[in-house]
Amino acid sequence: MKTKIYSMITLLFLAVSISAQVDRTKMPESGTAPKINIGTPKKFTLKNGLQVLVVENHKLPRVSVTLNIDNPPMAEGDKKGVSGFVGGLLGTGSTTISKEDFDKEVDYLGANIGFGSESAFASSLSKYFPRVLELMADAAFNPVFSKEEFDKQMKQSLDGITNSENSVSAIAGRVDRLLTYGKDHPFGEFTSEETLKNISLDDVKNYYNKVFKPNNAYLVVIGDVNYKKVKKQITKLFSGWEKGEMQTQALPEVTNPETTEINFINMPNAVQSEVAIINTVDLDMKDKDYYAVLLANQILGGGGTGRLYKNLREDKGYTYGAYSSVGASRYASRFKASASVRNMVTDSAVVEFMKEINTIRYKKATQEELDIAKAKYVGNFVRNVQNPGTVASYAISILQNDLPKDYYENYLKNINSVTLDDVQNAAIKYFKGNKARIVITGKAIDVLKNLEKTDYVIKYFDKEGNPTEKPEMTLPIPEGVTAATVVDKYFEAIGGKDKVLAVTSTMMTANATIQGTPIVLTSKAAAPNKTSQIISVMGNVMSKTVFDGEQGYQEARGQKMNLPVAQIEKAKKNMAPFSDLAYKNGLLDRIEPIDGKNFYVIKFDDVEVFYDYETGLKAKEVRTAKGPQGEVKIPTTYSNYKVVDGILFPYEIGQKMGPMDLKFEVKEIKINSDVTNEDFK
């Protein structure tokens, strides 16, 4: 027994001694790159040129198959969007089976079958896979392309275009691609209502016949299959797919500007700016500096550990995330660093983007940053190779990019061999801070004034990427129009000044949801200048704010606090039940165009109030508040006006709370009833 005790004590002291020798403050040194055995899929090629790769994996009784036609990119010109119709119409039945029967059988088999303009995909349980593969091949090679389905997809596509026309991010994406590659480049052109309406059903059929060929196609089967059996079935189903003459197209040259410039797209409805710093790159996976470029990008903007994220989000609080990426296409690629930022910090965000891009070019990264970047790539690579699909995708990548057969076996070794000098040289070569486009899509009135203070030339473009003039910042205010006359017009628009002044109290209830949870807003107001607002969740009062004309308090979660002096002074300036009476004492600042409409904008203390130039109705109030990260604009929108006792009230009220957009739907409004002095105590 004593021997055991002495042994345990000895081991304990040995463990303590070893632990004391480990310096926990230093990052452990990287070991040698592990030897990765990627594995090789089984391959065969049909006489028509179709290359087939099979990866057997019997862990689960499932199989997936992917058909990818590796055609070079081709511009679609004034019929841009025709390729999308091909992908949309494939799979809507075939010449041998109706769409209804096709969908029923796929559903019965528990399968998934989908198509693109130059691709197809299917997955199912392995026992049903032979039939599922038949269905996929049948739909791919014997399409119907019916007029009925074409018309249906045309309507959906046109609706999609209409819905995206006011999307700042969608406009930013399409215009920055156009400016990067040019409108005649396949990567630069975009689908519009005009190009869609140029497309006929015959165009769809012609495009399919032109591109859906086996010459450059790959068929990948992954899962619980027997190689000999699946080879026999594929040979039977796909050998009749006739090869054809592949059409190629000379791609326009893509270039960068001679000096860095700002390309500005005005979106008057933008509540934040889309900022992107872009330059084209000539990068191939075979290039010796390819791995250094990957690591340089990881250090700069490859996620939460990147410099851009740490600077623009964590340090400055300009955005929810800032990132960068770099491509290595065989045809054309680009480097892009981007973020969505608050309007008022757009110019500051540009300064910080350019600072980080130039810093990584002219100052070496730290060894710790390089080690973290390498660890990220090593970890991702090791995890990916556990996936059977990786074996096939790597094999296709080797074929498509003409890479050495041991390319991925040496991947980790090549990543780990990158030095700090390599990273800096790659950043200088591929991150063109001196020849970049700073593409900004945002609200000109809010951001241009400060952008003009930078050293960059500003060029202006419309939503289609066409050069245009500098947008009008404001419209001239007609002579004799003041804040008082604008408010008087509003009162006339909602029912007349006499009716408004006859209102002594209002009571409103409205509903909204936050992440699926219903909330109720109950708002009461009474003359002279008394207000009460209660927010309830599932019958429980979550917050309450009361002002009796002289004093007030806030109550939340059982804690009651008097309103600060500054807030009381602001509240005293209001004139409830209609605060617009107070706005008559404000400043008529401008007429602002938004989405094709003009609005009078009155400034009153920290609030901007927007009244429709034509109708006179109030459309929006934007309050400026101070937060931990500086000033924040909080918009409240008003729409769907309805008559209550002869007076128009908005029945839809929108509020933005951080990243959330709340939409209150008014359920009830009462005038001169159900409000007492007790409501304001």
Task: Identify the pLDDT of residue 18.
Answer: 35
List the alpha helices (DSSP H) in 306-366.
307-308, 346-362
Whether the per-residue pLDDT at 8 is higher than 70: the answer is no
- 3-state DSSP call for residue 200? coil
* Mean pLDDT, rounded, of the chain: 90
Has residue 316 got a pLDDT over 60?
A: yes
Task: Give CA–CA dist 469/462, Å, rounded.
Answer: 9
Identify the pLDDT of residue 33: 53
Residue 546 has pLDDT above 50, yes or no: yes
Residue type, 613: Y
pLDDT, one tens digit per residue, over 428-466 is: 999 999 999 999 999 998 899 899 999 999 999 999 999
* The pLDDT of residue 129 is above 60: yes
Query: What are the tokens at 592?
Result: 């602002």
| Token pair listed for 76 | 């679609």
Cα 221 from Cα 232, distance rounded (Å): 13
Confidence of residue 592 (pLDDT cuts 50, 70, 90): confident
**Per-residue confidence band for 629, with pLDDT thresholds at 50, 70 and 90:** low
Please tell me the predicted confidence (pLDDT) of residue 11.
Answer: 35
Rounded to 5 degrees, what angle do the CA atoms 197, 199, 204 make?
Answer: 155
pLDDT band at 14 (very low <50, low <70, confident <90, very high): very low
pLDDT at site 395: 87
Nearest by Cα to 274 from 447, 469, 467 = 447
The helix/strand/coil state of 423 is helix
Q: Burial level of 485, CB count in 10 A (0-12/13-18/19+)?
A: middle
Residue 311 banded pLDDT, cuts 50, 70, 90: very high
Top pLDDT among 3 and 143 is at 143
Mean pLDDT, range 14-39, rounded to an integer: 50
Which residue shows structure tokens 């901007």?
Answer: 608
Task: Dump pLDDT digits (tens) for 132-144.
Answer: 999 999 999 999 9
| Contact residues for 356 (Cβ-Cβ < 8 A; gap 6+) | 300, 301, 307, 308, 311, 337
Q: How confident is the model at residue 567 (pLDDT cuts 50, 70, 90)?
A: confident
Report pLDDT for 573: 85
The arithmetic mean of pLDDT across residues 239-248, rounded, is 85
Radius of gyration, CA atoms only, the chain: 32
Residue 391 clears pLDDT 60, i.e. is over it: yes
Provide mean pLDDT across the span 504-517: 90
In this predicted model, which residue has the larger pLDDT, 633 or 148?
Answer: 148
Two tokens at 351? Answer: 């300064």
Q: What gap in Å lies between CA 168 and CA 439, rounded to an integer?
A: 13
Structure confidence by residue, pLDDT tens digits, 253-288: 999 999 999 999 999 889 899 999 999 999 999 999
Highest-scoring range by mean pLDDT, 9-23, 358-372, 654-668: 358-372
* pLDDT at position 31: 53
Place of tokens 């494939």: 90
Taking the C-alpha atoms of residue 117 and residue 67, their distance in angstroms, rounded to an integer, is 11
pLDDT above 70 covers a percentage of the chain that reads: 93
In whole angstroms, what is the distance from residue 324 CA to residue 301 CA? Answer: 4
pLDDT at 225 over 50: yes
Mean pLDDT of the region 399-417 = 91
Phi, psi of 482 (to 5 degrees): -130, 175
Q: Are residues 520 and 509 in contact, defined by beta-carbon separation less than 8 angstroms?
A: yes
